[in-house]
Structure formats: structure tokens, C-alpha cells
Chain A
Amino acid sequence: MSEVILEARGLERRFVTASPVFGEPTVVHAVSGVDLAVRQGETFAIVGESGCGKSTLARVLTRLIPASGGSVSYAGRDLSGLRPAEIRALRREVQFIFQDPFSSLNPRMTVGALIEEPLRTHKIGTKAERRARVAELLQRVGLPVQAATRYPHEFSGGQRQRIGIARALASGPKVVVGDEPVSALDVSIQAQVVNLLAELKEELGLTLVVIAHDLAVIRHMADRVAVMYLGEIVEQAPAHALFAAPRHPYTEALVWAIPLPDPGARRAQSRVAGELPNPTAPPSGCRFHPRCPYAIARCSAERPVLSAPDAEGRQVACHRAGELTLDGLASVQSARSDAARARFDLYRQAREAEATPD
């Protein structure tokens, strides 16, 4: 097992959303007590629904915003005590890809200047070398070299995200954190950008941390997955194991929501009811219990903690993890109902009859 490059211990991030003159301020625990360890060279995914704190976690991990508690260490070095200049120096090695390619590129800089900026900032190479590197990066992400003299608004969403990727890779980082790097793009473009990221990761030996709410994307990219719910990690496991057989009811619900390219394989349904609870007043005990179909009395009273990793490296925070058997993608393989199977057989026969010349 390769060594840990980015590690969080008991990471906390609180936001004060309202501080009245009298009374208690309203505090949102966007990230509460997160432990995770990203290993060198892997793709580590953090998934969860909107508002669960995953974007905040990504920013705290890269020190774009400071932590309220706990610690983050990169390559064994604690980031919390760093001075601003030291943090800027760290940016050479830890880079960030933003969710919205429309708002995350300075509209008044040319694409060439945007991609060159990390090199200029970290004083890498001479002017000519930097220009050559910009050209190389543009080509690598699939854009023409001529793009360097244009402005970001002249490009489509997918192209802009390629510009964002080229900018993130310019300084030769070791870790790249992507905050929903494809969720703002069209589905057809998403696949291209996901493949580009996967290729670049292999080619450059990057460690990728990808935040997403779309499990279909994660399933193709990730080596390991952490599932977040209301600021906590509820399950962490190798991707294939997590998708095949989830251990936390929330993971089951997420996996169950992945569309399968196999009509009739299962009924489209949601296994969780309701909305994400108000994060300023999280539920007692297990934060998922009000929406959990398997909740028992203990769940509302006692807060489960993430278990120690088992032989496979799986961790789960659920009181009933040992006793429940949850459905993953493994259990839906050709699980069509009899009626559905009969209907699909008829379709196939009809197609074959049509294809046969008289």
C-alpha cells in the first residue's frame, strides 16, 4: 500500500450564519470530525448530496479556507501552522479545479496568461520556457495553441474546464483536488473531461481527490470513495466494494439512485425520503436516522463512529452495519421481474423477425 500524501484528522469547519446581539449565534457545522487519508497516486472520491459539506471539505483540505478544528497534513507536514507565504508556496504542489468553469476564470486575462499564472507565481522557468509550457499544456488538454491569445468567454463550458485543468496542472502539482469538476457540464462533455482527468492522472502520476454528487462519474474514476452525510463521513471503502455491496443505508440509497443502462432491471425509486435536515440543528444520534429505512431506537440516541478499517480497508459509521444486508449493484444483475423479462423477450423476437428478410 502506497504512502499517505494528504491526511485529515478530526477536521472541523464551522460557519457562523447569524450572530444576533442577544442569544446564541447560529452555527453550521459544515465539516464535523472528518478523518481521511488519501494515498499517493490514487483517485479518492468524496460523494454526498448538495449541502453535505463536501465542497467545504475540499477547501479545508487544500487550505483555501482555514479549519476550525483538527488538522490537515500534506506529505507529513501539518498545514495549520503555516504562514500565508508558506501556504502560497504549497500551491505549487496542491492544486484545485473549480466547479463552475464560467465564473472561475478571470474574464480580463487571456487564456495564455491564465495558464501561465501558476508558473509566473512560483517563478518557474524563463519567459520563453513558460510560453512553451503553456502551448504544451493547451495541446495536452485538447485545445489549439491559438487559444492562448483569446479570452475565456470565447470558449464553451467544456473548453473552459479544460483551461481550468491546464491551469491546475501548469505548476506540476502532486495532488489535484477537483470540486465537482464536471457537474456544470453537459453529460456528453462530462465523459470527455472525466477521461481527460483519468489520462492525465496516469500520465503525470497525480493523486486526485474528486468531489461529486454524481456516483456514475465516481464509479468510473475512483479507487476509493468516502460517502459524506451532513458534514460527517459515514462510509469509506474501495470503489468497487462500495458500489457492489454498500454497508451504510445512505450509501445504499445513493447507489440505488444510479441509473442503469438496463431497462427494467429495477424500479426507479428512492430509498430515502425527505430533504437533508437543517445543518444548524443536526438530528440527535446518527444524523441519518430520520431518513433511514432501517433506523432503530438506538440510532436516535447514540451517535455511531466510523469503524476501524477491515481487511479490505472498509469503514462504516452505522450501528446496524453488522446485521444489515444492503443492496448494491451486485444484487441487481439481471434482476428483472418475470413480467419485464417476458416483455423484453417479445421485443427481441419482434426485432429479430424484422431483421430477417422475407
Chain B
Amino acid sequence: MSAAATDIATLPKRENRAWKKLRANPAALFGFVLVAFFIIIAVAAPILPIDSPIKTSWSAIRKAPSAAHWLGTDDIGRDILSRMIWGARASLLAGVISVAIAVALGVPLGVAAGYLRGWTDAAISRMTEALLAAPFLILAIALAAFLGPSLSNAMIAIGLSAMPVFIRLARAQTMDVLTEDYVESAHAVGVGPGALVWRYILPNIFPPILVQATLTIATAIIAEASLSFLGLGQQPPAPSWGSMLNVAKNFLDQAPWMALWPGLAIFLVVLGFNLVGDGLRDALDPRDI
């Protein structure tokens, strides 16, 4: 080997293997396409040639899917396709942002509890248990009612309600990682607490958190639906899949399409997020070729 080749900076960058592995995984790719599809229609809603989602029509109440209304109309004659597309915004935001809040608050608290132990752990763990004592949805409703009815408050309420799970998971995973030999090797090198958390704990607790997050997105979308139903989430007449589903359940016999489309959309988005989550977990594990 020549001396010139000894500079690591000159080594060819290995191609991004995580991306390559993700592309080679058909299930993950399908999930990615599903999620991307819903994100694109949600973003493109204002420019799509569709009716206003809040325009009512007394002459087209609970009409089945037709050329005029591809997905049918609802109980006050609004176009379901249009409401689905606009509703994707509220539902996706509710799912992603509330989970982002839960992860952003829960993981640092969990890592702090698991790493520092002692009084910090006792305080965080007791608080977590208190939150877990209340059922998820009841807690979300209570918080949303306390914060006031709006979509953003609903997201905060759902995020705070989902947070305890992430605290517990991050705490347990941190304690598990801390017993690994490679953490002792970090101590032996003299790595400080910040670098230990950043380079050792977070990358190694990431996979189960990612999986939990994709599962929680599904729960959050449904929770937003429940809050909307109670008037605590998306405010009518603005649509969300959850609120559409809640109205539709009164008309299951007369207009089953009203429930079919939002139900199918929630199912597909949740499936998409889960497939992407699984694929990401595998793709980001360097041990997995």
C-alpha cells in the first residue's frame, strides 16, 4: 500500500447502504409509496381540481359514488373525495406531529432516567406511572379539554398521552445498552457522558423506538378521530378522516361508502407507516447485510 493511500479522507465513500437496503426491500418500498402518495395529495389539496370540502348541496345528500362524485357524498351533500383529500392533512399532521412530540419529550426523559438513575429516575418514573394509570384516550381527552378545542391542541394532547410509552421504552433500552461491553469500552477510552449518550446510547436504542413510533402514528390518527368526534380535534366543518368516520357510523346502512373511504385511508396510511418503520429498522442496522 502506498503512502498516498493512507489518508482515510481519500478513500472512496461507500455508497449509502441504508438507502440501498431500503430500496431492495419491496415491502418497505410499498409502504414508502403509500405514505408518499397520501403526503402528496395532502400537500397538493389546494391545487387539485376538486370541490370545496365544505360546500354542501341539498340535492346530493348521501349519494353513492358516481361520475360527478367519485367517492360519493356525505349526509349534508359534501363531496367525499374532496373531504378525503383535505382530511389527509389533518390526519397525517395529527399522526406525525403528535408522535414527534411524544418522541421528542419521551426519549430524552427516558434516557435521562435510565442513565442517571437515582432521584432523577425515581421522579421521572413515578410521573410516567401516574400518566400511564389513566387510559390513553381518557388522558388525551382530558388534556385536550384542558388546552381548548383545536387541531394543534389535540396534537399536543395526543403527544403528551403517548409520551409515557416512549419514556418507559427509552429507559429500559438505555439500561440494557449500559450493561453492554462496548459501553465499558467507552468508559475505558474516557468518553464523557454527552458523547456516551450521543454515540452509544441513542444509536443503539433507536430501532425499537422507531418501531414503537410507527405503531403509535396509527394510534394517534385514530385518537385524533375520537377527539374530533368529541369536538376537541379538527373543528367542523373542516374535515379529518377521524371526524368523517365518526359521522359515517350513523349512516352505515344507508351510506356505507361514507365509512369505507376514511376507514380504508386510515388503514392504508397506518400500513404504510408500519412497513416503512420495519424497513427503516432493518436498513439502519449495520449488522444486517
Which of A105, A131, A136, A139 gathers most chain B CB within 10 Å? A131
Quick one: which of A87, A89, A103, A145 contacts B181, CB cutoff 8 A? A103
B185 at the interface (CB under 8 A from A): yes
Secondary structure at the B interface, as helix, strand, loop or mixed, is helix
Interface residues on B, range: 20 to 34
Are the C-beta atoms of A121 and B190 separated by less than 8 Å? yes
Which of B191, B195, B203 gathers most chain A CB within 10 Å? B191
| 0/1 string, B273-285, CB within 8 A of A gives 1 | 0000000000000
Residues of A within 8 A of B5 (CB): 145
Given contacts A136-B6, A145-B11, A151-B286, contact A104 B184 (CB under 8 A): yes
Interface residue count on the A side (C-beta < 8 Å): 45
Are the C-beta atoms of A88 and B7 separated by less than 8 Å? no
A288 at the interface (CB under 8 A from B): no
Quick one: which of A92, A131, A135 contacts B190, CB cutoff 8 A? A92
Are the C-beta atoms of A121 and B191 separated by less than 8 Å? yes
Distance A118 CA – B191 CA, assembled complex (angstroms) = 8
A148 at the interface (CB under 8 A from B): yes
Closest to B286 in A: A151
Distance A96 CA – B8 CA, assembled complex (angstroms) = 25
A35 at the interface (CB under 8 A from B): no
Given contacts A91-B189, A109-B199, A153-B286, contact A135 B180 (CB under 8 A): no
B9 at the interface (CB under 8 A from A): yes
Are the C-beta atoms of B204 and A131 separated by less than 8 Å? no
Minimum Cβ distance to chain A for residue B79 (Å)? 49
Residues of A within 8 A of B189 (CB): 91, 95, 117-118, 121, 167, 171
A198 at the interface (CB under 8 A from B): no
| 0/1 string, A100-142, CB within 8 A of B gives 1 | 1001111111001100011001100000100110111001000
Are the C-beta atoms of A100 and B287 separated by less than 8 Å? no
| 0/1 string, A145-166, CB within 8 A of B gives 1 | 1101111010000000000100
B135 at the interface (CB under 8 A from A): no
Are the C-beta atoms of B188 and A62 separated by less than 8 Å? yes
